[in-house]
Amino acid sequence: MLTGSTILITGGTGSFGNTFVPMTLAKYNPKKIIIFSRDEMKQWEMAKLFDDDNRVRFFIGDVRDRERLYRAFSGVDYVVHAAATKIVPTAEYNPFECIKTNVNGAMNVIDAAIDKGVKGVVALSTDKASSPINLYGASKLASDKLFVAGNAYSGEHATRFSVVRYGNVMGSRGSVIPFFMSIRDNGTLPITDNRMTRFMISLEQGVELVWHAFEDMVGGEIYVKKIPSMKVTDIAHVIAPEARQEVVGIRPGEKLHEQMIGIEDAPFTYEYDEHFKILPAINDWAVDETRIKQGQKVAEDFSYTSENNPEWMPLDALASWIEANHKKIGAI
């Protein structure tokens, strides 16, 4: 599907884009990948990595700017929407800015995609959009709802919209692994709560989930990959086994455990070998066989959270991953 196509990724200079671009170039040989973002310095740095590849193009713009999106989407086949205001405290202290990017920006992407005849859009979501307790999560829940409903508005253009949702990305900027690694020599690591758990997914797995969504989607699905969990205390022990762990308390807007599928979504959720799929509650799409395919309905009381996860990452597996990826941890 993506072979020979033109793909645009909003917020493409972030952690996801820096992994998506080389992986997609290698696997699908697209005609063009357009990096759409507002940070010229990040674009300049990223462009140096693809100096000799004329398939990679850069487009300065902001998802808040509707007219700029319309210009950028001309001739585009597929869009990955990765742009967002993502840092929880930043969203809490700058709520209007968060809404402008995460909600208004999503509406702009939907309108531009439909009007410019884009074939498919996959939007990146977050575990924080499931039963949100902070503005970032609430804004991403609103974004998810917008992309799901966008399928009812595409009409004769037949643009399809779907969402992928995953939790803590291992080694990405601002995440727990590079944070612990940066202070491990201090001899003390801050732990918000000894019970805290997190899902563990690599950026490569996130990219593969987006690929699958493009291949599988009819429109309106939310894809959730099956991934292992870890206790934060175990992550700290792997990174600094000799360090003392000091409990400092949960920060405002932070959850004890990550949740990707709440019990309220169970009536619309189906299970597959490597992922779950939440189907839309609107328009009877949740009982549409073309969307369900080979999925098995989950139990009525089902939820998918990091503490009730049947799969846990062994400590030695995390240690091996850190050893193999230490050069890029925290770099993108």
Q: Respond yes or no: is residue 100 known to be catalytic.
A: no
Average pLDDT over residues 217-228: 97
Q: Could you tell me the two tokens for 311?
A: 């799969």
Q: What does the mean pLDDT of the chain come to?
A: 94
Q: What is the pLDDT of residue 170?
A: 87
- Binned at pLDDT 50, 70 and 90, residue 331 comes out as low
Count of CB atoms situated within 10 Å of the CB of 291: 20
Q: Is the pLDDT of residue 98 over 70?
A: yes
Q: Which H or E element spans position 165?
A: strand 160-165
Q: Which H or E element spans position 35?
A: strand 32-37
Domain 6-167+201-225+259-305 in CATH: superfamily?
NAD(P)-binding Rossmann-like Domain (3.40.50.720)
Non-local (6+) Cβ contacts of 7 within 8 A are: 24, 30, 32, 33, 34, 76, 77, 78, 79, 80
Q: Regarding beta strands 259-261 and 304-305, do their DSSP bridges make them parallel or antiparallel, or are they unpaired?
A: antiparallel
Q: Is the pLDDT of residue 22 over 90?
A: yes
What length is written for the chain? Answer: 332
Mind listing the pLDDT tens digit for each residue in 104-151?
Answer: 999 999 999 999 999 999 999 999 999 999 999 999 999 999 999 999
Mind listing the pLDDT tens digit for each residue in 257-272?
Answer: 999 999 999 999 999 9
- Identify the active-site residue in 42, 116, 128, 226: 128
Q: What is the pLDDT of residue 332?
A: 63
Tell me phi and psi for residue 255, to 5 degrees: -95, 150
Q: What is the pLDDT of residue 157?
A: 74
* Residue spans per domain, the chain: 6-167+201-225+259-305
Mind listing the pLDDT tens digit for each residue in 155-188?
Answer: 777 999 999 998 778 888 778 899 999 999 999 9
